[in-house]
Amino acid sequence: MTEPLYSLSISRLAPLFAQGEVSPVEVTEALLARIKERDGEVNTYITVDAPGARAMAREAAARLSQGDATPLTGIPLALKDVMVTRGLRTTCGSRILENFIPPYDATVCARLRRAGAVFLGKVNMDEFAMGSSTENSAFGPSHNPWNRDYIPGGSSGGSAAAVAADLCIASLGSDTGGSIRQPASLCGVVGLKPTYGRVSRYGLVAYASSLDQIGPLTKEVRDAAILLQAIAGHDPKDSTSVKAPVPDYQAMLGQEIKGLKIGVPREFFGAGLDPEVEAAVKAALKTLTGLGAELIEVSLPHTEYAVATYYVLAVAEASSNLARYDGVKYGCRAEGKNLLDMYAQTRTRGFGAEVRRRIMLGTYTLSAGYYEAYYRKASQVRALIRQDFEAAWRQCQVIATPVSPTPAFRLGEKVDDPLTMYLSDIFTISANLGGIPGISVPCGFSSRGLPIGLQLMGPVFGEADLLKAAYAFEQATDFHRRKPPL
């Protein structure tokens, strides 16, 4: 074994565990050591749980020796600090939950525990998942491992950076407007947002309930399939989870994509797209046609309204979801002259500026007299955006686009202008509005050495086909094999 254990993927480790060549305990120790030595440079972890991880690794080793393993047994993971883990601090990147120790597990965490995975700790994020750069964290920004002056993306920036920097084998993040796919793209890793309702949201701290989904960030496509397999499926505790059957997500990996019709929406290739991103994505499309796929120009005519739609719906839902943080039952509490003042002081000190901005926007748009003009109108436009996708699926089977209009930008570059930051979500937001799955795979690098991703989107519950296409592309390229200089 010449390569460091921490640099391996789930797909490479699982057979080594099964054959007894490597122990989960060794891999966990290697990662804990690497986190201690290097995480200071990228600030991906909010909470490292060394004792917990070691205990889980020992249990995993025991299960492996008893022949009672799953593909995730012994695999050390980092979890975005937005999903609750029993007994392990969960902050959502916020001061208001700085000391919150959840008394229960999110369903996805419980499933991963049952599968024998190892939890290294909780990773950094934009506060309450609101942001595209991880600069909105109360625990400091994370840095892009490819160039530490640059953002890793957000809101799952900690997850993406940790995977890219080999500070975990894989990670779970959450995606409401692109928060898995965009950081994955900016950090050169794989990121998958499943169909809405595919993965349980029970225990996922809610930002926008009609848009949020949990999904994997991984070093290779097969790993994303393995993780999705473990977490997908109906959950009686999440009434928005769907009873659709869970297929074998690895079954089609390696199959050819000859004749696959790939829709290329003209609205995603206009002004504002960085020429290097455009070049990398167009080269990726060429690779796909080289594999036998057929490109079809399609139109998603309401794309230009997607960001506005999202920033009405998501902030409205957020203002409602974040009303619970009042200092009464959990979280930080600030003193106040009376109850209302306690609420106001607690929330003002506990929430960062971006969170307060979005709560206020949502409160305004839902307030008396404005609901029709904003929330209801945006819900109607959302219906039109979904119709755009339904029309597209009559012509093609997947849609290929850039993930982000630019590669990563510098830390601090966009913090003063929220609207500019919002506009950078343009390519990922439609998938959340339409409820459809999307995956980001590495497809190139900018002249500054920053990663560029290709997004593939598919019809609802079409993750297996999406993974097949993503896998075919990945195996025909070697972008995923490159590692940052960390």
Partner 1 sequence: MALTRDEVLHVANLARLSLLPEEIELFTRQLNDILAYVEKLQELDTTGVPPLAHVIPVFNVLREDEVTSGLSREVALENAPAREEGAFVVPRVI
Min CB(458)–partner 1 separation in Å: 14
Strand pairing partners for 76?
118
282 is catalytic: no
Q: Calculate the alpha carbon distances from 65 to 24, 26, 120 in Å.
A: 11, 15, 22
Nearest-5° Cα angle at 155, 324 to 215? 90
Min CB(92)–partner 1 separation in Å: 14
Which residues in 211-240 contact partner 1 (CB under 8 A)?
A: 236, 239-240
Min CB(43)–partner 1 separation in Å: 26
Closest CA to 180 of 233, 110, 132, 222: 132
Give how far the C-alpha of residue 242 lies from the chain's centroid of Cα atoms, to the nearest Å.
20
Give the residue with the Cβ less far from partner 1, 25 or 342: 342
Q: Calculate the alpha carbon distances from 25 to 52, 60, 117, 282 in Å.
A: 12, 8, 12, 43
Count interface residues toward partner 1 (CB under 8 A): 72
Which residues in 460-479 contact partner 1 (CB under 8 A)?
A: 460
Tell me how far apart the alpha carbons of residues 415 and 36 are, in angstroms, rounded to a whole number: 29
Min CB(338)–partner 1 separation in Å: 5
227-231 CB contacts, 8 Å cutoff, 24+ apart: 227/10, 227/72, 227/170, 227/172, 228/192, 228/194, 228/199, 228/463, 228/467, 229/71, 230/70, 230/71, 230/72, 230/111, 230/112, 230/115, 230/117, 231/108, 231/111, 231/112, 231/172, 231/199, 231/200
Strand pairing partners for 173?
215
Q: Which of 9, 23, 80, 137 is catalytic?
A: 80
Q: Which of 9, 133, 142, 155 is catalytic?
A: 155
CA dihedral 91, 314, 133, 324 (to 10 degrees): -20
Among 85, 155, 319, 430, binds partner 1 (CB under 8 A): 319
Contact 126, 154 (CB under 8 A): yes
Give the residue with the Cβ less far from partner 1, 218 or 432: 432
| Residue 309 is a binding residue for partner 1 (CB under 8 A) | yes
Which residues in 238-267 contact partner 1 (CB under 8 A)?
A: 239-240, 242
Give the residue with the Cβ less far from partner 1, 16 or 332: 332
What is the three-class DSSP state of 151? coil
Min CB(180)–partner 1 separation in Å: 17
Strand pairing partners for 452?
444
Give the residue with the Cβ less far from partner 1, 63 or 181: 181
Helix axes 463-475, 275-290, angle to 10 degrees: 100
Among 52, 113, 147, 210, binds partner 1 (CB under 8 A): 210
Which residues in 336-375 contact partner 1 (CB under 8 A)?
A: 336-345, 347-348, 351, 353, 356-357, 359-361, 363-364, 367, 373-374
Strand pairing partners for 444?
452
Backbone angles phi, psi at 442, to 5 degrees: -60, 135
Give the residue with the Cβ less far from partner 1, 90 or 159: 90
155 is catalytic: yes
Closest CA to 207 of 122, 43, 325: 325
Give the residue with the Cβ less far from partner 1, 236 or 272: 236
H helices present in 248-404, as ranges:
275-290, 306-321, 339-350, 353-366, 377-392
Binding-site string for partner 1 from residue 94 to residue 133, where x marks contact by CB under 8 A and - marks none: -----xxx-xx-----------------------------
Which residues in 46-85 contact partner 1 (CB under 8 A)?
A: none
Tell me how far apart the alpha carbons of residues 134 and 415 are, in angstroms, rounded to a whole number: 11
Backbone angles phi, psi at 439, to 5 degrees: -130, 140
Among 13, 312, 411, 464, binds partner 1 (CB under 8 A): 312
Which tokens go with 270?
């206009």
Min CB(341)–partner 1 separation in Å: 8
| Residue 89 is a binding residue for partner 1 (CB under 8 A) | no
Region from 123-131, 308-316, 406-414, 465-473 binding partner 1, contact rule CB under 8 A: 308-316
241 is catalytic: no
Q: Are strands 76-80 and 45-48 parallel, antiparallel or unpaired?
A: unpaired
Give the residue with the Cβ less far from partner 1, 249 or 389: 389
Min CB(8)–partner 1 separation in Å: 36
Nearest-5° Cα angle at 484, 480 to 486? 145
Give the residue with the Cβ less far from partner 1, 337 or 394: 337
Region from 124-132, 135-143, 146-154, 299-307 binding partner 1, contact rule CB under 8 A: 299-307
Which residues in 380-399 contact partner 1 (CB under 8 A)?
A: 380-384, 386
Min CB(47)–partner 1 separation in Å: 15
Which residues in 398-427 contact partner 1 (CB under 8 A)?
A: 418-419, 422
Spatial CB neighbours of 22, under 8 Å, sequence gap ≥ 6? 1, 5, 13, 16
Which residues in 146-205 contact partner 1 (CB under 8 A)?
A: 195-197
Give the residue with the Cβ less far from partner 1, 52 or 449: 52
| Residue 302 is a binding residue for partner 1 (CB under 8 A) | yes
Min CB(2)–partner 1 separation in Å: 46
Residues involved in catalysis: 80, 155, 179
